[in-house]
A and B are shown apart, each in its own frame.
Chain A
Amino acid sequence: MKKSRKIKSVFLNFIVWTAAAFICLLLAGMILCILARGFPNISLDFLTNKPSLLHHTVGILPNLLNTLYIILMTLVIVLPLGVGAAVYLSEYAKNKKAVRIIELAAETLSGIPSIIYGLVGMLIFVQFCSLQTSLLAGALTLVIMTLPTIIRTTQESLKTVPESYREGAFGLGAGKWHAIRTVVLPSAIDGIVTGCILAVGRIVGESAALMYTAGMANEILTPKEALSAGGAGSTLTVSMYFYTKERVDIDTAFAIAAILLILTLLLNIAAKIAAKLLKKGKGK
């Protein structure tokens, strides 16, 4: 082999390894910076208080609760819709064109940036449906945003349910809905769970879509208030933006960033474990 070719090959190897090392170092650096600056500010008080200028407390309890409320509300609405759509696409729809149009719509939805969801959510839910700035309006906006994720993961796992399961159910005299409910959907549970985890990840990380729909308030809401029109509140991510940009309270922002990072990490691990466990269950 010519020497120049050898050098070139070594060089190519080198840049490929460098790129991978760069990514890993970058991520490690980011994690270290966030944790190093965030952890010292996390305390029990911080997690269980609400921010108050009067009492000089800084706390993120309202934001934690709001995040939880929004996750629950969004999932309760988006799961039936998304799973239903996936079932329609892979079990009912016979018209190829209809399937193509729905898939195209889902792809389009997943490409729309969150700031546009924020504006449209404000127009539709906050103003048109007169829910005012509220957690409910925020959750409904996120329903549109997370729908494609649920559809895609459910659909992928419905595709892997063997045709013989369905034939077996039909052979025993089950109707289509009966077969779906008792045989097909339980076998596709892995996709549904994965979809939920991905959707939760997206909800936790979302800010632009929530700023103008769910608002920026930092009050503790009861579940009833959270469900009613006008029950506004900021999630962790939105409040982090607020602390960074408006209050310039960088320490608090880093503390929230650390919590968000840990949540992201946990969700990532959960997604991997869920995929593994459920795949094993399927193999039986």
Chain B
Amino acid sequence: MQNNAVSAIHILEKPKKANPAAEISEKLMHIIFGVCGFIAVAFVLVITVFLVISGAPAINEIGITNFLFGTEWAPTNSDPKFGILPFVLSSVCATTGAVIIGVPIGILCAAFLAKFSGKRISAAVSGAVSLMAGIPSVVYGLLGMIYVVPAVREIFGLPDGANLFSAIIVLAIMILPSVISVSETALRAVPREYEEASLALGATHAETVFKVSIPAAKSGITASVVLGVGRAVGEAMAVIMVAGNVANMPGIFKSVRLLTTAVVSEMSYSSGLHREALFSIALVLLIFILAINLVLNLIVKRDKK
């Protein structure tokens, strides 16, 4: 009896031990996949560490208040000044402006795609939106430089059209695709019953969309706005071509320089403390972006609950 049982167990175990090479490769692959899995985490850490190491010393040397709240940026003067307040405020203004113009258009277009149009038209417009998302930012910059900047100059009678306003227009167009696609997904996810109830109460289709669907998709739409803010804050190449690139405090028709464009325009020729200060600017930019990501995550998490 006992012998039988033992041999039965023996038979059961046999195939497992039969191929030690396979077993080793199983274990090896488990480890390899694990390494791949955590490589994204490693990348985030490495990026943060490298930027902190290269950016923190300059902030320390300049002094954090002088750096963040100094209103003058003159790194190549004999008495150099490293105040990045103009960049921070310009970035904030450009982003706010882009959101004010871009988000309403984006949400209306998302409402159109999700609720107003038939399948065919919706597919065509969606295709247009995803093509817009794929167009490289330098192309937006070129178009802005050739068409938007002269138009702004003509319409407002300015000596030069390369200013904050042009940057806002270009950024507003560039954030449209992200705002539209995320808002559309959110609007499509609104339960059909909500809308049916509203229609049954006698509301028109348009009233239903604006008073029921959009409020119900509030958190998804907010997420799309935050995503758009992230895009606008981080955009460099298109802005550098239309914003004029002078380190002024922001004014709607003043030539401005943003956090991103400050880094791009001076990196090639900077050295010493100036160069380190550019890394500090990148560090400030990274902190901005991480904060925006955090907000985005909180919104999405709250939505899931």
Contact = CB atoms under 8 A, between A and B. Distances in A.
Contacts of A206: 136
Contacts of B207: 5, 8-9, 12
Contact of A177 (B26, B136, B204): B26
B236 A113 contact: yes
Given A81-B36, A105-B41, A120-B47, A114 B204 contact: no
Given A23-B125, A212-B267, A264-B135, A93 B51 contact: no
Interface of A: 1, 5, 8-10, 12-13, 15-20, 22-24, 26-27, 30, 33-34, 80-85, 87-89, 91-93, 98, 101-102, 104-109, 111-117, 119-120, 123-124, 128, 144, 147-148, 151, 173, 175-178, 180, 201, 204-208, 211-212, 237, 240-241, 244-245, 250, 253-254, 257, 260-261, 264-265, 267-268, 272
Contacts of B167: none
Contact of A208 (B35, B46, B236, B293): B236
A116 B32 contact: no
A105 B44 contact: yes
A179 B134 CA distance: 36
Q: Most chain-A Cβ atoms within 10 A of its Cβ — which of B29, B32, B46, B289? A: B29
B39 interface: yes
B40 A207 contact: no
Contacts of A107: 293, 297
Interface string B195-239: 000000010111101100000000000000000001001111100
Contact of A267 (B37, B134, B268): B134
Contact of A16 (B22, B108, B230, B282): B108
B142 to A, nearest CB: 5
Nearest to A112: B289
Nearest to A91: B33
B22 A175 contact: yes
Contacts of A123: 50-51, 54, 279
Interface stretch (B76-84, B110-118, B149-157, B246-254): B110-118
Give the top 7 A-B pairs by smallest Cβ distance, nearest first: A113-B234, A84-B36, A88-B37, A205-B136, A19-B108, A12-B206, A177-B29
Contacts, number: 242
B40 A148 contact: yes
B137 A116 contact: no
A102 B40 contact: yes
B237 A241 contact: yes
A207 B105 CA distance: 28
B112 A17 contact: yes
A92 B111 CA distance: 40
Interface in B269-298: 278-279, 282, 285-286, 289-290, 292-293, 296-297
B125 A175 contact: no
Given A1-B202, A105-B43, 15 more contacts: A9-B207, A12-B207, A16-B209, A19-B109, A33-B143, A85-B36, A88-B33, A106-B40, A175-B22, A176-B30, A205-B136, A206-B136, A207-B237, A245-B241, A264-B136
A272 B123 CA distance: 11
B145 interface: yes
B84 to A, nearest CB: 15
B260 interface: yes
A23 B109 contact: yes
A144 B48 CA distance: 13
B299 interface: no
B161 to A, nearest CB: 16
A143 to B, nearest CB: 9
Interface string B259-270: 010011001100
Given A111-B293, A268-B130, A204 B147 contact: no
Contacts of A241: 138, 141, 237
Given A20-B117, A205-B136, A9 B206 contact: yes
B244 to A, nearest CB: 13
Contacts of A113: 230, 233-236, 260, 285, 289
